[in-house]
Amino acid sequence: MAGLLFVDHTVWLVLQAVQTMVARRIDGDLRARVRLQATRLPGLDWLESPEFQDRAAQAVDVGMGLGWDRSAGGAATGQLRLTFRMLSALAATALLATFSAALAIGLLAVSLALRASVRREWIGIVDRLDADTAGQRYHNYLSEQAVFFAAKDVRLFGLSPWFAGRFRALGMGTYGPVWRQLLAVLRRQWWAATLTVAAAGAALGLPAAAVLTGSLDGARLITYVLAAWGVMAISAMGLEAYDIEHGRRAIAAADDLAAHPVAAGSAGHPVPAAAPTIRFEDVVFTYPGATRPVLDGLTLTIRPGETVALVGTNGAGKTTLVKLLGGLYRPESGRITIDGVDLATLDLPAWRRRLAVLFQDFVHYPADLRENVAYAAPERIDDAAVRTALEQAGGAALLAGLPSGLDTSLWNEGTDGTDLSGGQWQRVALARALFAVAAGRHVLLLDEPTAHLDVRAEAQFHEAVMSNVGDATTILVSHRLSTVRSADRIILLRDGRVAEEGSHAALLGLGGDYARFFTLQAEAFTANATTEGVR
């Protein structure tokens, strides 16, 4: 007996370790599938949609609502546990049938019916939870904002009570219906408890009565009672039932993502080897959920090697034009051509390797300085080229001041990480774009490149950067009209179309919106300069 107990405990420990290992490997595979699906998407339309966000959250949910992970590995191991439980119940049924076939079959039928009914009601709670996946995502987002991303505002403005109150209110709104349904299920379990008591009475009473009447040997009583108990054990909702259901939902969500058609982009017409002619032909584009198009019949031609500045009020479509040119979105109607070939039919990855893009909300990579510059052209990581790009972007002093030079980690959450100021990060991002141009990118897209620079640094940027783009076509988006004066052509967008077009001098002579905006900005700058001089 001691030996059997030792073996039993040893096997249990081994099974626990193996179960954990198997579950984690399966979960890792599922998460890898979701990540691969996300990275394979050629554009942002499906990636940014609520449907994709909900399915991705369901595939990798960590069990915030009911404290139960959606683990595909847990579902697999849970299915094995359930299989063995079912086999044990069948074996117990066969043993009990040697005493009474009617009692054995009746207990098994009642136990399976109880299990199916209870499972249906309890698993219905998961349906209620899945009905508001967006609420769960927002609840998690609010928590991250309070603890990490909005930490400065929380302390400076005393927002802790606001965040705490919003967090509680959102939690009640999102999870309150789930817990109310849970309580309702508990209240409806009286009939299941009654039926269980009746079945238990039969399981205990019939063998006992047989012993009292002498039709059953008393030594066999405990055998049949334990066998009956083994049959009834299958009626209990073990933990594996929840593991299976939650994991099944995760797998279904991942399968839904995989089933979504992914637009082709890995093959198509070859891209031009040099700076191409880019043309927007009556392009219309509306963001999902918006009621008005951002671009509404835009027609524009950008010639090879030309520096074109895009200006206009907020929402005029400047950044959207850049995103469409990068293939992040597709026009609703019209087309964008590259040397006469529709962008939709080009080899999209190859086309993107011809672009150097700097958005206003550029990424701060959790990596060293070298990689933060060279990621714009990862196929060419060369220290000399990185240093040259930093110098051209006005970052020589920044490089000299860092403790480990190019090896300095810019991940400020790391042990030896170094954070940069907004202007310094802007220079790193500019160096990233120039590095890409030096690596052979023929189209440079700059979306508000001097947003974090002062006026003097802005002037240095245009003197140093714009003189180092070579033959690349440059598209510059800016609200500061002083930064676009040297452009070959200035395009003013209004209502999603080209409203004014020409050189700086020509547009001033036209006396339209550009001239009015430029005059207002110049007057504000003159007033600020006068005030600073008086001080």
- Are 503 and 309 spatial neighbours (Cβ–Cβ below 8 Å)? no
Q: Looking at the DSSP assignment, which residues form a beta bridge with residue 346?
A: 269
Evaluate if pTM is beyond 0.85.
Answer: no
3-state secondary structure 414-427: CCCCCCCCHHHHHH
Buried b / exposed e over 68-93, threshold 16 CB at 10 Å, is bbbbbbbbbbbeebbeebeeebeebb
d(CA 508, CA 467): 25
| pLDDT (tens place) for every residue of the chain, 535 residues total | 888 888 888 888 888 888 889 888 998 898 888 888 888 888 888 888 888 888 888 888 765 555 566 788 888 888 888 888 899 999 999 999 999 999 999 999 999 988 888 888 877 777 787 778 888 888 888 888 888 888 888 888 888 888 889 889 988 888 888 888 888 888 887 888 888 899 989 998 999 999 998 888 888 888 899 899 889 988 877 778 778 888 888 888 888 888 877 654 455 778 887 889 999 999 999 988 788 999 999 999 999 989 999 998 888 888 899 999 998 999 999 999 999 999 988 888 889 889 988 888 888 888 999 999 999 888 888 899 999 999 888 888 899 998 889 999 998 776 778 888 888 888 898 899 889 988 888 899 988 877 666 666 666 666 666 777 778 899 988 877 777 888 899 999 998 899 999 999 999 999 999 999 888 877 765 655 555 444 4
- Are 295 and 283 spatial neighbours (Cβ–Cβ below 8 Å)? yes
Residue/partner pairs of 289-297 with CB below 8 Å, 24 or more apart: 293/332, 293/496, 294/320, 294/496, 295/320, 295/321, 295/324, 295/331, 295/496, 295/497, 296/495, 296/496, 296/497, 297/334, 297/496, 297/497
Ordered structural domains, the chain, with CATH = 2-259 (1.20.1560.10), 274-354+442-535 (3.40.50.300), 362-441 (3.40.50.300)
Q: Looking at the DSSP assignment, which residues form a beta bridge with residue 446?
A: 358, 476
- Are 478 and 461 spatial neighbours (Cβ–Cβ below 8 Å)? no
416-to-300, 321, 402, 423, 445 alpha-carbon distances in Å: 48, 40, 12, 21, 33
H runs (alpha helix) in 188-299: 190-213, 221-232, 239-259
Listed in sequence order, the residues at least 6 apart from 331 whose beta carbon sits closer than 8 Å to its beta carbon are: 283, 284, 285, 295, 324
3-state secondary structure 464-478: HCHHHCCCCEEEEEC
d(CA 81, CA 236): 13
Type and span of the H or E element at 336: strand 333-338
